[in-house]
Structure formats: C-alpha cells, structure tokens
Amino acid sequence: MKTSYILGAILASNLIGLLVGGRTAKNGCMVVSGALAIYGLVRILG
C-alpha cells in the first residue's frame, strides 16, 4: 500500500470524525486514524 494512500485514509477518517455527531463514531474514527498512523510510521521507518 502506498504511503500517500495511508495518509489520505488518515485524513478521510479525521474528516469523517469531525462531521459525525455521535461520540461512538468519533471514537471509532480516532481508533482507525491511530491504527493507520502507526501502520504508516512502521512502513516509513521500516
């Protein structure tokens, strides 16, 4: 998976978290963003 796709997915997840109103959905988006960020760092640092 390209690193730019990972960064785009993190951005999309954050935007969805901003737009939805429910607390559970926001927490879910934060978890997804965190997991993608860790995966991206592992890929970059390698």
The token pair at 20 is 């939805």
Please determine, for residue 45, whether its predicted confidence score (pLDDT) is greater than 80.
yes
| pLDDT for the residue 22 | 85
**The dihedral of CA 38, 39, 41, 45: what is its sign?**
positive
- What is the C-alpha to C-alpha distance for residues 42 and 31, in angstroms, rounded to an integer? 17
Q: Residue 3: which pLDDT band, with cuts at 50, 70 and 90?
A: confident
Report the amino acid identity of residue 2: K
Q: Residue 1: which pLDDT band, with cuts at 50, 70 and 90?
A: low
| pLDDT for the residue 46 | 81
pTM for the full model?
A: 0.75
